[in-house]
């Protein structure tokens, strides 16, 4: 009596580990992320253990050593495997060689639909939110370069990288969305990749990842106006993505406990790579913020309400790192900003307007900044993240 019961118990537990071990809700519990990673690593060993135990139970019954009614214990295991491996229940596969169409052929896009936009050389690309929702990881070739785009919809976060040729779509598997971040698994190397940080579970750069690619999230109307020759990621079928969210959505999965000093759904912008800094999106206006991020002095501002933020590197020749302020007195031409070291004025595009003549024709280097992220999600995945506010709230 005890032996078949133990067989059924351990077989069911193994099947449950396969079916629910990577569920994103586990991330809210202590060591939940570690459980998800372990469950994916042990997925096939657990499946094999469950199947072997099922065969052992069948053999006991067939040999007449146990009653037939013990076979009822196979029901839960079959249900768990059906739940996990049923068509349509698993996360989508990583897509390689996506179909791209010209902007004027993208009739499936409305002006207010959001896109993830990026440029590579002279080419511009737009990936609609609605298309990425069902295909969140894309590998695309651009001449001699290969790019990987990862979209975590519930974090409203996109990361993109150039990748080496030895990294293939067949190597990458979508595992789960713990703490609202997409989680990938490199089945060839046994390496987990976080969709929010773009790093491995150990905090290192994933194998095959090369340089980050700056992305921008905005409406199709804005992106198309600025990049009229942009190519657009096409849906596999318009009906497939018809119900997918075309604009930012809120986090859907529970977060681990944390002591946040600001609301978890506070919208923030993220600057920097090695040691990023978050900025309260609502606090940024025309007055420039002067920050130091990753050892680089930056200026951040929002030209107008509703417009995207802009960030520029403040460094000038002769090791100057001036602070920028609004040009209230309109000194030195019609520049919007005035730097405190050279007294020169600058426009909202980072271009020199007037002042120190040796700077004539100079443009500040624009720095990528990603807006409309959620403070709670970002703070969890970047534990050392600090939150800055615009000058008008200080």
Whether this prediction's pTM lies above 0.85 is answered by yes
Helices and strands (DSSP H and E) totals, the chain: 7, 24
Alpha-carbon gap, residue 7 to 112, rounded angstroms: 56
Alpha-carbon torsion, ordered 245, 249, 254, 260, to 10 deg: 170
Buried b (16+ CB within 10 A) or exposed e, 305-339: eeebbbbbbbebeeeeebebeebeeeebeebbbbb
Going from the C-alpha of 236 to that of each of 101, 116, 129, the distances in angstroms are 12, 18, 14
**pLDDT tier, 386 (very low <50, low <70, confident <90, very high otherwise):** very high
Q: What is the per-residue pLDDT across 70-128, written as a single tens digit (0 to 9) for each? A: 677 777 777 887 767 766 556 777 888 899 999 999 999 999 999 999 998 889 999 99
Going from the C-alpha of 90 to that of each of 6, 49, 87, 138, the distances in angstroms are 30, 21, 7, 17
List of residues 6+ apart from 333 with CB closer than 8 A: 345, 353, 354, 355
- CB atoms inside a 10 Å sphere around CB 204: 10
Q: What is the per-residue pLDDT across 257-307, written as a single tens digit (0 to 9) for each? A: 888 989 999 999 999 988 899 999 999 999 999 999 989 999 999 998 878
Give the strand order in the sheet containing 209-212.
Answer: 95-96, 137-142, 145-152, 157-163, 209-212
Q: Which two tokens stand for residue 335?
A: 């520049």
Q: Which two tokens stand for residue 8?
A: 């059924």
* Rounded mean pLDDT, 369-374: 95
Q: Which two tokens stand for residue 247?
A: 């604009």
């Amino acid at each position: 009596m005890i032996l078949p019961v133990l067989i059924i118990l351990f077989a069911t537990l193994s099947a449950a580990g396969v079916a629910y071990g990577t569920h994103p809700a586990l991330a809210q519990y202590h060591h939940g992320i570690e459980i998800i990673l372990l469950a994916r690593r042990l997925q096939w060993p657990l499946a094999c253990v469950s199947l072997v135990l099922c065969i052992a139970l069948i053999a006991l019954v067939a040999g007449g050593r146990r009653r037939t009614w013990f076979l009822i214990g196979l029901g839960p295991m079959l249900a768990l495997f059906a739940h996990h491996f049923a068509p349509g229940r698993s996360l989508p596969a990583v897509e390689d060689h996506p179909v791209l169409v010209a902007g004027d052929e993208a009739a499936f896009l409305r002006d207010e639909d959001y896109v993830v936009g990026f440029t590579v050389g002279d080419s511009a690309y737009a990936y609609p939110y609605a298309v990425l929702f069902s295909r969140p990881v894309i590998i695309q070739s651009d001449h001699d370069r290969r790019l990987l785009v990862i979209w975590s919809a519930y974090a409203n976060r996109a990361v993109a990288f150039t990748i080496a040729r030895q990294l293939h779509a067949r190597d990458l598997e979508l595992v789960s969305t713990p703490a609202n971040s997409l989680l990938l698994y490199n089945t060839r190397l046994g390496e987990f990749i976080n969709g929010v940080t773009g790093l491995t579970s150990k905090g290192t750069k994933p194998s095959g990842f090369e340089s980050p690619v700056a992305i921008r999230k905005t409406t199709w109307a804005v992106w198309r106006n600025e990049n009229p020759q942009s190519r657009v990621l096409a849906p596999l079928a318009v009906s497939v993505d018809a119900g997918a969210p075309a604009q930012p959505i809120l986090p859907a999965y529970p977060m681990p406990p944390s002591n946040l000093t600001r609301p978890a759904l506070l919208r923030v912008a993220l600057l920097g790579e090695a040691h990023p800094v978050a900025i309260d999106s609502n606090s940024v206006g025309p007055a420039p913020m002067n920050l130091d991020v990753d050892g680089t002095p930056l200026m951040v501002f929002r030209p107008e309400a509703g417009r995207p933020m802009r960030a520029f590197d403040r460094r000038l020749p002769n090791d100057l790192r001036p602070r920028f302020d609004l040009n209230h007195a309109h000194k030195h031409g019609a520049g919007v900003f005035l730097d405190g070291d050279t007294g020169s004025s600058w426009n909202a595009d980072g271009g020199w307007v007037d002042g120190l003549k040796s700077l004539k024709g100079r443009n500040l280097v624009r720095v990528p900044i990603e807006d409309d992220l959620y403070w709670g999600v970002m703070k969890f995945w970047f534990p050392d993240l600090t939150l800055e506010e615009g000058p008008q709230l200080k």
